[in-house]
Amino acid sequence: MKSETAEEAPGTTLPDGFARVWGSFFAALYNPLLWRTERRGNAERRSRLLRGAGGKVVELGAGTGHNLAHYDEQVELILTEPHEPMARRLERHLAQSGREGTVLRAPAEALPLPEDYADTVVSTLVLCTVGDLEASLAEVRRVLRPGGQLLFLEHVAAEEGTRLHRWQRRAHGFWHGFACGCNTNRETETAIRDSGFRIEKLITDRLEFDVPLIHPLIWGRAVNP
Ligand SMILES: C[S@@+](CC[C@H](N)C(=O)[O-])C[C@H]1O[C@@H](n2cnc3c(N)ncnc32)[C@H](O)[C@@H]1O
């Protein structure tokens, strides 16, 4: 089943050069943009989610490293991030944190890791942005050992027929350009199930973000059977 609706929505394509320059600005803006959201509940939510992370942990699209503070000292951490300006910030944050970890410059669609490598894969606010959602989830299943878990925290499409859903479609092009490829209208829960995961914990929530399009939020745990 096709679980992606973004291409059907009106889109705006930024010229490559502009998108690159904007990408560097966006990486610099990312922490200030998320500051209120984290303080108003999202940092606590990350902490609750990541309490369950154990063993060899691979984080997708780790951004500037908002999750770093929430991992147990014992986990073996690989942070992946394909976007160079974000990856540089991530490396600085990791070094300042004083904890062990590796940063890999890689997209979720092509992780340079062997099959059955990880006990836990973490995706927070990333599956909205990956270029190919189905390929990313297939790759996550490939690197997770059988019985391994995907811990996710993702904003998703509003219910079809609602005003919010209509606005998500109308604003898609602008938001996709502004937020470097983010889609407001992905059916991520369906995509996780369709890729063969068994969802064992699922909470539907509201992200404390100032842009009202970025709702609802789903977070929880899916197991690689
Ligand atoms: C909204 S940010 C989330 C950052 C971080 N995970 C967090 O929770 O704050 C989206 C991240 O996904 C990264 N990204 C974009 N395309 C990606 C891809 N194909 N695979 C993995 N990460 C990707 C971006 O560079 C960015 O760091």
Shortest-distance Cα residue to atom 1 of ligand 1: 125
What is the share, in percent, of the chain residues with pLDDT greater than 70? Answer: 93
Domain residues of the chain, as ranges? 18-223
Which of 80, 126, 154 has most ligand 1 atoms within 8 Å of its beta carbon, as the pocket-test mutant? 126
Q: Let me know: does 98 contact 129? Beta carbons within 8 Å.
A: no
Query: pLDDT tens digit string along 75-123?
Result: 999 999 999 999 999 999 999 999 999 999 999 999 999 999 999 999 9
Written as tens digits, the pLDDT of the chain (225 aa) is 333 333 333 444 455 777 778 888 889 999 999 999 999 999 999 999 999 999 999 999 999 999 999 999 999 999 999 999 999 999 999 999 999 999 999 999 999 999 999 999 999 999 999 999 999 999 999 999 999 999 999 999 999 999 999 999 999 999 998 888 999 999 999 999 999 999 999 999 999 998 889 999 999 999 999
Residue 80 CB contacts under 8 Å (≥ 6 apart), including other chains: 58, 59, 60, 61, 62, 103, 104, 105, 106, 107, 108, 111
What separation in Å is there between the alpha carbon of 173 and the centre of ligand 1? 18
Which of 129, 140, 143, 150 has most ligand 1 atoms within 8 Å of its beta carbon, as the pocket-test mutant? 129
- Please work out whether the CB of residue 85 comes within 6 Å of at least one atom of ligand 1: no
Given this model, what pLDDT does residue 45 score? Answer: 98
- Please work out whether the CB of residue 131 comes within 6 Å of at least one atom of ligand 1: yes
Superfamily of domain 18-223: Vaccinia Virus protein VP39 (3.40.50.150)
Which pTM value belongs to this model? 0.93
Given this model, what pLDDT does residue 2 score? Answer: 31
